[in-house]
């Protein structure tokens, strides 16, 4: 299976030197695919091991696997001790990854040279955006038909709502699929797991706790981005402004800092600890990954429209249960209308022609969903 990818926002896969994405690294792509696959499999009722506990990744006992009387491959692996449905695809001790990935036909369309430090007015600290990779490339997957069907489905979900590579919380990794060759046959939904406990939700990413959103708007002025908080302040820096103009000509604007700044500092949050838990923090005793992501604004091909996508998820650990009501109320008050996003970007009603906000699930965002709802959502995208 060959999937041609075009970046909509910069792609980050890391590199040898800190702060530089020197080329496209397969490991950076694989890491993000696994993270999203774990969220997807939890969402549809599969079993996923604890990614923070090495003991849960001990892998396969070859003898128990050979001695298993099960006729189903999944059950044979489970009899052999490999109970994690994602590890059965991506590999574990004693069990190799069930597909090979290579990146070919790489065409870099824009060289982003200098990092950007975006600090909105009245903020002493801002967001540091390292140069990511921009262009087109082909992901080549080799594996059995069932594995390729799962990867195909995952890529279709990520094209619509997710991202590839690292730094999604900074807006990196949005993409579109240009073409797919040798796509697998999808006779039925390829994530069929026995009905599990609908109430079992952990502190790890699970699509049942996600809300995805897409904002589309048509600005009246092609230079609408000149007034975005944090970006307008860079007009005094010639080098940064030139980099921004290059990005804008290629249809992307780093709006994620302005939206995160508005949500984090412009809303009335009840507890400082809630902010660290929701938006992430780095401290001496470790780091907490943010649970909210806004992409950059990217121009939709052959239209006058721009789009921003994003997601939020609320794990059900102790903090999640404590903070849930406050978070949902704040999101309802500040992110349920498209005008809220545009105001955070410094745009008033006279600055745009049309605007539309879509949330999933449309009827009940910011809530916990069922395995069946997630299965229906995924099926609709494939």
Q: Is beta strand 286-288 parallel, antiparallel or unpaired with respect to 292-294?
A: unpaired
Task: Answer yes or no: is pLDDT of 24 > 80.
Answer: yes
Cα distances (Å, whole numbers) of residue 95 to 79, 82, 122: 13, 9, 53
Q: Quick one: which H or E segment has residue 88?
A: helix 87-90
Cα–Cα distance for residue pair 85/44, rounded to 1 Å:
11
Task: Answer yes or no: is pLDDT of 134 > 60.
Answer: yes
Task: Answer yes or no: is pLDDT of 288 > 90.
Answer: no
**Where is mean pLDDT largest: 10-19, 147-156, 271-280?**
147-156
Residue 125 is predicted with a pLDDT of 84
pLDDT tier for residue 96 given thresholds of 50, 70 and 90: very high
Tokens standing for residue 223? 């230079």
Residue 286 is predicted with a pLDDT of 61
Tally of CB atoms within 10 A around 329: 14
Cα–Cα distance for residue pair 193/200, rounded to 1 Å:
15
Per mean pLDDT, which range of 225-229, 269-273, 327-331 is the poorest? 269-273
Q: Is beta strand 252-253 parallel, antiparallel or unpaired with respect to 297-299?
A: antiparallel
Query: Does 57 or 257 have the greater pLDDT score?
Result: 257
Cα–Cα distance for residue pair 173/351, rounded to 1 Å:
28
Residue 194 is predicted with a pLDDT of 78
Reply yes or no on domain 2-181 having CATH 1.10.3470.
no
Burial class (CB in 10 A: 0-12, 13-18, 19+), 176: middle
DSSP secondary structure of 256-297: HHHHHHHHHHSS--S-HHHHHHHH-EEETTEEE--SEEEPPE
Tokens standing for residue 339? 């005008």
DSSP secondary structure of 318-342: HHHHHHHHHHHHHHHHHHSSHHHHH
Residue 55 is predicted with a pLDDT of 55
The DSSP symbol for 185 reads P
Tokens standing for residue 239? 């080098």
- Indicate the length of the chain as a whole number: 382
What is the mean predicted confidence (pLDDT) over 131-151? 95
Q: Please list, in sequence order, all residues whose beta carbon lies within 8 angstroms of the beta carbon of residue 111, skipping any fewer than 6 positions away.
A: none
Cα–Cα distance for residue pair 110/302, rounded to 1 Å:
19
Q: Is beta strand 134-143 parallel, antiparallel or unpaired with respect to 297-299?
A: unpaired
Residue 321 is predicted with a pLDDT of 80
Task: Answer yes or no: is pLDDT of 17 > 90.
Answer: no
Cα–Cα distance for residue pair 61/18, rounded to 1 Å:
38
- Percent of the chain having pLDDT more than 70? 94
Residue 325 is predicted with a pLDDT of 85
| pLDDT tens by residue, 209-244 | 999 999 999 999 999 999 999 999 999 999 999 999
pLDDT tier for residue 284 given thresholds of 50, 70 and 90: low
Q: Quick one: which H or E segment has residue 245?
A: helix 238-249
pLDDT tier for residue 326 given thresholds of 50, 70 and 90: confident
| pLDDT tens by residue, 46-92 | 999 887 665 555 689 999 999 999 988 999 999 999 999 999 999 99
Tokens standing for residue 182? 């040798």
What is the mean predicted confidence (pLDDT) over 192-212? 84
Contact of 138 with 104, CB cutoff 8 Å: yes
Residue 120 is predicted with a pLDDT of 87
What is the mean predicted confidence (pLDDT) over 170-178? 97
Residue 189 is predicted with a pLDDT of 74
Residue 129 is predicted with a pLDDT of 95
- Percent of the chain having pLDDT more than 90? 66
Residue 244 is predicted with a pLDDT of 95
Tally of CB atoms within 10 A around 71: 7
The per-residue pLDDT of the chain, averaged, comes to 90
Domain locations in the chain? 2-181, 207-369
Tokens standing for residue 36? 């999203």
What is the mean predicted confidence (pLDDT) over 331-348? 91
Residue 323 is predicted with a pLDDT of 82
What is the mean predicted confidence (pLDDT) over 355-371? 86
Residue with tokens 């073409």, as numbered in its chain: 179
What is the mean predicted confidence (pLDDT) over 96-111? 95
What is the mean predicted confidence (pLDDT) over 121-136? 90
């Amino acid at each position: 299976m060959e999937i041609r990818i075009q970046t909509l926002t910069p792609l980050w896969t890391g590199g040898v030197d800190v702060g530089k994405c020197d080329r496209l690294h397969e490991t950076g792509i694989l890491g993000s695919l696994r993270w999203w696959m774990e969220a997807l499999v939890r969402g549809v009722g599969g079993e996923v091991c604890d990614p923070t506990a090495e003991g849960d990744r001990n892998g396969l006992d070859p003898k128990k696997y050979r001695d298993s009387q099960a006729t189903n491959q999944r059950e044979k692996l489970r009899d052999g001790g490999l109970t994690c449905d994602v590890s059965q695809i991506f590999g574990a001790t004693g069990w190799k990854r069930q597909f090979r990935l290579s990146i070919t036909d790489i065409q870099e369309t824009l060289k982003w040279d200098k990092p950007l430090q975006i600090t909105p007015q009245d903020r002493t600290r801002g967001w540091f955006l390292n140069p990511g990779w921009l262009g087109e490339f082909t992901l080549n997957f080799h594996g059995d038909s069932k594995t390729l069907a799962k990867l195909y489905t995952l890529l279709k979900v990520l094209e619509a709502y997710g991202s590839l590579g690292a730094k999604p919380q900074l807006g990196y990794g949005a993409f579109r699929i240009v073409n797919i060759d040798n796509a697998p046959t999808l006779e039925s939904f390829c994530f069929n797991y026995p009905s599990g406990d609908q109430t079992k939700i952990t502190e790890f990413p699970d699509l049942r706790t996600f809300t995805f959103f897409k904002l589309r708007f048509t600005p009246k002025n092609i230079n609408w981005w000149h007034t975005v908080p944090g970006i307008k302040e860079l007009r005094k820096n010639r080098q940064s402004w030139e980099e921004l103009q290059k990005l804008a000509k290629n249809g992307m604007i780093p709006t994620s800092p302005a939206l995160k700044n508005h949500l984090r500092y412009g809303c009335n949050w009840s507890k400082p600890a809630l902010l660290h838990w929701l938006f992430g923090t780095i401290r001496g005793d470790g780091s907490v990954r943010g649970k909210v992501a806004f992409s950059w604004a990217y121009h939709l091909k052959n239209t006058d429209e721009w789009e921003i996508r994003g997601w939020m998820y609320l794990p059900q650990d102790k903090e999640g249960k404590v903070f849930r009501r406050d978070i949902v109320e704040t999101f309802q008050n500040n992110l349920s209308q498209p005008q809220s996003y545009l105001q955070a970007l410094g745009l008033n009603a006279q600055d745009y022609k049309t605007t539309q906000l879509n949330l999933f699930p449309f009827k009940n965002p910011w809530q916990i969903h069922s395995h069946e709802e997630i299965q229906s959502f995924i099926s609709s995208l494939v």
